[in-house]
Structure 1
């Protein structure tokens, strides 16, 4: 074709391309205007970021608060500053809505569950967690939940004998300090990784035993894993904060830690697959033996022989099983160790056991213990914030207009974040003293979506009862063994220690007096 004949074709192609873009944009605008009008949506007038393109000012502010361990309080003050329970922001190129309206949270997590996904968060979690239950969407998530749900039946959750074995080691380790000041949080994290690994792998990291016997060794495989798991979780949080900028980061420490975690878990996966093959052979020969006790990893191996799938699910559950319970115990003991009247009430309630070990039913029926746990999860939720990514145009019931009472339009591609930490401090739900740890408020509280310690909707935490049972059991046993616990923190002020969960940033330094 001659050169002068090509020009009309190119012009026509360019015209059609531009027309197509204009048509799509116009159609999208009309569709969105229809949705806005249909639902009576109004814009939200509160904008956190001043930089309208990348929101770099908001990023700088958040980095500052992260360094100063004040992210949660800064969020809370923001809602107070705007006198609004919903405000707008921007995370680089992504528009963001922040809210502490229970009806909005209910809509995102339950009523319009299918309008949202995890979005880019999956990429940050994937190096460590793969495609397990906490990092999967859609059908894969449903399959993961179906795979794991049977493993959290009451008979597994109520196995207090396993807790007591590790409890004996915890008590020995604590009593070795002979009333000296110790960081109780370190002991709780050791306890929960020991119990979680035994529950999941049929092999405990035994970090408390090493502490008691004085055999802590940085070269020990279990100790190396426990340390690497902590580093790998911190790395995930860094990936989340950096977003697409993470690809430009030198990250040998994080990548090495993730590799150690995967290799550690994979050895137990290999053992479980071999166990299944042996069981299949026994069954084929008509000589199958019933397993003596429940083993989590064996139950997974019965359902799938996909090694990566098993590894991913185990790593996901370990994250929850270890960190949430240890953080709950640490936050609660930081509070009650400065309030002797609470310890006294707990001792009075536990005294009804006459020194014997509690049963599962007795634990469930201890009212004041339950109030203490609930109050800790309220004032220091172990997952203090979360978010979902809108995969289609949708609507929140509140947040629009100057008073925030009108519906708010959520365009596809918007991140909706909710701060459980701030929502749990709303005085209209929890009283004028909502920022104070006071278990007695639970005598009459019957909260709905304004109290969300274990998420809600279809993705509500499968291990909720496991975590509460373990935390309750540890508390009762400590109350039985120690007549006094006194906070020895120099400031006496709880500071956030924010990773994927939230514990006490300065630890829990206490002195314990044995009975």
Structure 2
């Protein structure tokens, strides 16, 4: 009897639940259609109406071929930028309509969340925190973290320049080939670890600790695993990836030691005769500020890893993608050098970098063409209606239910020909007249936009100008001309940025 219930009862119960939910949805949609004009978007064709396993397999094949993001782009263009699918029986509405994105990120942001998706997928790597969770964790942590990214903190050129100078020393200047991707990763790793933990990993140093190298490798492996878990959702238990769990364990343990070191420094500064303001560099360091609110090591480790997860990868990815494009457009490199030719490294304040119009246009264009965050999603928490994308003309509102996922392709959004002329071209000059709102979202939007946006832009701009001041030529050394995507959670050039750098003798 028990065997009968296991083999037949559970599947039957599951099918009954699926049919009940389907009938409930159809009834609600029918009512909403009569009252509000709601209509469903087109379905992505599938031979499996219940679980869309063929669609899941297609996604995995595209990821294996380094075409996952491009395949989404092609699907969205085939269905006028909005369609729905049912991977593993869960509804996913894919859209790249600016009205829908604004609705999800800002207008009705409270009705959409990230916790149902990210806590399960990312939790093993970073724990729960501001990047993985909704309220109450998000609303509690956001005010504590925001001061870290004020202009006063991010304009600390001297601290960042220490790491940039080490980075520059590792670059060959005779035109020989170097892949900038691993060096950018190490640069941002060192800068962000000092900014967040008060202690740099020192990965750019010749005597870099073995632990730092292991951390980078483990963090990269962990991110790839998180990407798979996002795709599989609650079915991620099907993934057998011992390396993912090993990487998560190493990242957690290494961060625990960093937290203990930071707390020990803070305790020492609080001893009689000491001054807490004498903590390293006398600057705002996130771990010290969070330690004022809690001494729970697990909470501290999770919050710091959440910020590190978001802040460490995006600037390095953006730099790699930008130099991938610059190496193929020598004209743009020459124009950057012309704009910055009279500057010195010590001139590169936050305000000065912002005033370099062509440099800012180049950064915007790189973020448009190859956005590090190529795709983003939210899970519906309360029944609501997307403003557009339904029906044969794609103009009707779409009824959305709790548990539905809204997947938004920034990669596709940034390449819409009705918004950007010649969208596949790398042409920074377009930004001289182009004005965008919800059509250009390299850092998201609404209340959950990236709090480190200005810090990332400062780091990217500073590195770009320092390299333009030093190197007369930037040559492409990559035999593969086209961009090949490497998708973890962020989208990065798989081949990195393989370049040859020729030193400007006048800048000795």
* TM-score where L is the length of structure 2: 0.90
Q: 1:188–1:326: 8 Å Cα contact kept in structure 2? A: yes
Q: 2:29–2:39: 8 Å Cα contact kept in structure 1? A: no
- 1:206 maps to 202
Q: How many residues align?
A: 483
Residue of structure 2 aligned with 1:138, choices 121, 131, 135: 135
Q: 2:131–2:310: 8 Å Cα contact kept in structure 1? A: no
1:341 maps to 2:336? no
- 1:88 maps to 84
Residue of structure 1 aligned with 2:119, choices 111, 119, 122: 122
1:444 maps to 2:433? yes
Cα drift, residue 503 of structure 1? 1.0
Cα drift, residue 31 of structure 1? 5.4
- 2:242 maps to 252
Give the direction of change, closer, same or farther, for the CA distance of 1:155–1:23 in structure 2 (3 Å limit).
Answer: closer
1:44 maps to 2:34? no
1:184 maps to 2:180? yes
- Does the residue aligned with 2:474 lie in a helix, a strand or coil? strand
Cα drift, residue 159 of structure 1? 0.5
Q: Alpha-carbon deviations, 1:365-412, whole Å to 9, x = none?
A: 110110011011111111000111112221000011111011111122
Residue of structure 2 aligned with 1:236, choices 218, 221, 226: 226
- 1:504 maps to 493
**d(CA) in 2 for partners of 1:181, 1:346:** 22
1:225 maps to 2:215? yes
Give the direction of change, closer, same or farther, for the CA distance of 1:274–1:354 in structure 2 (3 Å limit).
Answer: closer
- 1:397 maps to 387
Cα drift, residue 25 of structure 1? 9.6
1:435 maps to 2:439? no
Cα drift, residue 289 of structure 1? 4.7
Cα drift, residue 235 of structure 1? 1.6
Larger radius of gyration: 1
Residue of structure 2 aligned with 1:350, choices 337, 340, 361: 340
Residue of structure 1 aligned with 2:53, choices 39, 52, 56: 56
**d(CA) in 2 for partners of 1:49, 1:464:** 39
Deviates more, 1:470-479 or 1:224-233: 224-233
Residue of structure 1 aligned with 2:308, choices 308, 318, 331: 318
* TM-score where L is the length of structure 1: 0.89
**d(CA) in 2 for partners of 1:28, 1:248:** 28
Q: Which runs of 5+ in 1 are unaligned?
A: 1-20
**d(CA) in 1 for partners of 2:424, 2:42:** 27
- Does the residue aligned with 1:169 lie in a helix, a strand or coil? helix
**d(CA) in 1 for partners of 2:466, 2:162:** 12
- Does the residue aligned with 1:203 lie in a helix, a strand or coil? coil
Q: Which runs of 5+ in 2 are unaligned?
A: 1-17
Q: 1:205–1:223: 8 Å Cα contact kept in structure 2? A: no
Deviates more, 1:197-206 or 1:59-68: 197-206
Superposition pairs of residues 60-79 of structure 1, within 5 angstroms: 60-79=57-76
1:375 maps to 2:365? yes
Give the direction of change, closer, same or farther, for the CA distance of 1:185–1:178 in structure 2 (3 Å limit).
Answer: same
**d(CA) in 1 for partners of 2:264, 2:33:** 58
Cα drift, residue 304 of structure 1? 2.0
- 1:274 maps to 264
Cα drift, residue 476 of structure 1? 0.5
Cα drift, residue 355 of structure 1? 6.4
Aligned CA RMSD, in angstroms, stands at 2.2
Residue of structure 2 aligned with 1:106, choices 94, 102, 109: 102
Deviates more, 1:272-281 or 1:235-244: 272-281
Q: 2:202–2:208: 8 Å Cα contact kept in structure 1? A: no
Q: 1:90–1:96: 8 Å Cα contact kept in structure 2? A: yes
Q: 1:369–1:472: 8 Å Cα contact kept in structure 2? A: yes
Give the direction of change, closer, same or farther, for the CA distance of 1:22–1:97 in structure 2 (3 Å limit).
Answer: closer
Q: 1:276–1:302: 8 Å Cα contact kept in structure 2? A: no
1:290 maps to 2:277? yes
Q: Alpha-carbon deviations, 1:164-220, whole Å to 9, x = none?
A: 111111111003x6421110111111111111111112221211112xxxx467xx1
Q: 1:85–1:100: 8 Å Cα contact kept in structure 2? A: yes
**d(CA) in 1 for partners of 2:21, 2:58:** 37
Cα drift, residue 62 of structure 1? 0.7
